[in-house]
Amino acid sequence: MNNNNFQKKFIDLVKYFSDKNIVIKSSLPNNELLYGISSLENANTNQISFFKNTKLTNSLTKTKAKACFIKNEFVNLLPKTCSPIIVDNPYLCFAYTTNFFYPKRKTTGKISINSSIHNNASISNNVEIGNYVTISDNCKISKNVIIENNVIIDKNVTIGENSFIGNNCVLSNTIIGKNCEIKSGSIIGGSGFGFTPEEKISIEHIGNVIIGNNVKIGSNCTIDRASIDSTIIEDNVRLDNLIQIAHGVKISMNSIIAAQVGIAGSTTIGSNCIIGGQAGISGHLKIGNNVKIAAKSGVTKDIKDNMTIAGFPAIDIRKWKKNIIKLNNN
């Protein structure tokens, strides 16, 4: 079924990609109407799809999509009813197209009468604040921020412009940059887990959390503030749901972490790292740049730049695969 809310002209899509310096080639008429994007299997005759994996060749040959983002080398596999949109990176174009058809909602600028805002809090223009939100002393909310329902913003929190805070989040002692997204149920800036091992004397965590620009944090994540300095999440980091980041951790720019990862205190994750789901990383370690850590790995020592590791304890993935083969042959 077509949804007129998602109806776009092809020429508008071309302009959208042109603004991002992406060249697309297609014979589709400029005024051709498109109604969103879907998978090869489920796209209808008015939708766009994309082809990025040769494992989906059978689906490609049978797709009912009106058009398909595709590399030039695979165009001959398309059915005649599907127009190729030739691009260098179909998956990137797919990602951008989802944002083209389904842009994030903009702030209404409305502040619920059921919210509680401290007199010393600073609220900029065009901020949306939902029901039963609490904003405490010494907080600064920048323009175009959306704060959904039941959010608690404790003292000393700054939220940069165009950021989004989902339902039921709790923030304290945290600085959040521009264009960030924190999904429902996440707790950021809470006290860390620290005490003397024998006497069990708790260590008061008096630091904070600093989150850079364009950071995405999934649902039900916890990021503890540092004991003295800062827990740091740099620009363009992506965190999946259900991640625990302990006090004093630093995650460097452009890193991606999948669900249920736990990172113990004072560990540094380098730039452009990818960490698979349910991996565990011990405290006080240094993980280099461009490191890949397989799912369910246990990292117990420093990792050099550009390594791919797996297993417990985590080792070079080539050695790990050899060990698995030996184990299976026994």
Yes or no: say if 14 and 85 are a contact pair by the CB < 8 Å rule. Answer: no
Set 118, 205, 247, 284: catalytic member? 247
Contacts of 4 (CB under 8 A, 6+ apart): none
Exposed e or buried b for every residue in 47-80, given b needs 16+ CB within 10 A?
A: bbbbbbeeebeebbeebbbbbbbbeeebeebbee
**Burial of 293 from C-beta contacts in 10 A (0-12 / 13-18 / 19+):** buried
Give whole-number Cα distances, 114 to 105, 128, 266, in Å.
Answer: 22, 13, 39
Catalytic annotation on 247?
yes
Per-position DSSP letters for 222-262, written without gaps between them: EEEPPSSSEEEE-TT-EE-SS-EE-TT-EE-TT-EE-TT-E
Yes or no: say if 88 and 70 are a contact pair by the CB < 8 Å rule. Answer: no
Helices marked H in 63-141:
90-101
Yes or no: say if 69 and 94 are a contact pair by the CB < 8 Å rule. Answer: yes
Yes or no: say if 177 and 212 are a contact pair by the CB < 8 Å rule. Answer: yes
Yes or no: say if 169 and 135 are a contact pair by the CB < 8 Å rule. Answer: no
| Cα–Cα distance for residue pair 191/221, rounded to 1 Å | 14
DSSP state of 276: -
Q: What is the 3-state secondary structure (H, E, C) of 71-87?
A: CHHHHHHCCCCCEEEEC
| Cα–Cα distance for residue pair 158/172, rounded to 1 Å | 9
| Cα–Cα distance for residue pair 294/243, rounded to 1 Å | 16
Enzyme catalytic residues: 247
